[in-house]
Structures are given as structure tokens and as C-alpha cells.
Amino acid sequence: MLRSPMAYRAVWERKPALRAVYNDIYQRILATAAPGIILEVGGGSGNFKVIAPDAVSSDILFAPWLDIVCDAQRLPFPDELLSNVVMFDVIHHIEHPVRALSEAYRVLRKGGRLILCEPAITPVSGLFYRLFHAEPVDMSVDPLKDGSISADRDPYDSNQAIPTLLVGRFRERLAHIMPNFPLQHVEWFSFLAYPLSGGFQPWSLLPAVAAGPLLALEWSLRRAIGRLAAFRLLAVYEKRI
């Protein structure tokens, strides 16, 4: 498993199919965003900035292409400053996701959006993630449980089940906790291109030339088979007050 933004960036630069998969998602994120300032939380290898150069990019670990180093559970921004908070493969790494959600709400203006793109646990993808992915899948946890922030916690610790739990089993409870931050919509997508690309593993089974057509086909099929086979979900929360 890769352990640094530098290592992720090296894989990114040598895998055109992976770049095609991620750039497609970045474009869909931007299409969902509200007008105004975007804060990217978990900027990692700096890929989103290529598509959104005006975004403020942050991560808990330093990298030279980031604008700021900070924890998603303690954002160093004043209230109601931002129009969007984007988290790509972040919320399932956070110790207390409810704190990150609360911080996103705090720094967003009215009408601002929190946009999450995360692993989706479905009957098909869940089997793949459990058997072939290094990160755990534990559907028994409470993603809304709060507590003190551990100073020595490994930022790469994770549970891929958390995003699916937030938009599924715990959706109503989260809405009760944060009634002015409703989940506007969820897209369940990504079936073949992402797993065939190998993600940030060194291998890929997806020819770069095939990535675009396959991604377009997958998006057109998302409503028909998303809840059965999606590997990713795109969730959008909007601040009412």
C-alpha cells in the first residue's frame, strides 16, 4: 500500500488510464459545485488542481503542491467563507467523520456544498474490496460516533464502509443531527473502468484509449445497476442556513 503523496503522484504520472478515470470524476465534481471558492480536503498527490487550478488544496500531510496542511476535523477557515468543500477518497479515512461534516458545514456559506466522492459498498464492489483491496470494509461501525481526536493516529487508517453507511443506514440519523445540511443526491457509479485501471497499484488492465468510451457507457448505466455494482458514490450535501 502506498504511504505518501509523492508515491501516489508517481503512479499517477505513469498511468494514463488512471488519469482518465479520475479526470472524468473531477469534471463531474465541478459540474456539481456551486459558484465560488472550492476547498479541496485531502489534496494528496495534487491531481484535482490540474482540473481546478483555482481550488484551495489541503491535506493532513505535507506536499509541495498543496496550499495548506490541515485536519478535516479542524479546518483553519472562518465561518461561511467557502462555496464548496470537496473530499475525494477522504471521509473514509477520517477518525470521526461527523466532525469533518460539521466543519464543512461551518465554513460553507448558505447554499454551499460538500461534495464527497468515495468507495461504494455494493454486492459486487463489496466482494472485490474485501478480497482484493488493502483497506478494510466494516459495515458494523457507527460513522456518527464522536470522540477525542487521536494525536498519533495513522492518517492512512480507513474503513471503506463509512461513506455507504453515511448515505444509507445512517442517513436519517445524520439528517436529525444536522437538519440544515441535507443530502441533496447520491450517484452510484463506476463499474469496470476503475477496477480495471488498478487504481494506484502499479498495474492496469485498462487501455487508455478505451477509458473514455467505457466511462461514458458506465455513467449512462448508473441508475440501472448502480446500487448493485457501483464501485464509487458521489454524494452532495447543501447548506440551507
Tell me the percentage of the chain whose pLDDT exceeds 90: 92
Which CATH code, of 3.30.1050.10, 3.40.50.10490, 3.40.50.150, 2.40.50.140, is assigned to 5-238? 3.40.50.150
Question: How far is it, in rounded angstroms, from Cα 79 to Cα 72?
Answer: 14
Q: How confident is the model at residue 1 (pLDDT cuts 50, 70, 90)?
A: low
Q: What is the pLDDT of residues 125-175, one digit of tens each?
A: 999 999 989 999 999 999 999 999 998 999 999 999 999 999 999 999 999
Are 29 and 86 in contact by the 8 Å Cβ rule? The answer is yes
pLDDT at res. 58: 98
Write the DSSP assignment of 178-229 as a string of letters.
STTS-EEEEEEE--SHHHHHTTTSS---S-HHHHHHHHHHHHHTHHHHHHHH
> Residue 62, class by beta-carbon neighbours within 10 Å (0-12 exposed, 13-18 middle, 19+ buried)?
exposed
What are the sequence ranges of the domains in the chain?
5-238
Q: What is the mean pLDDT of the chain?
A: 96
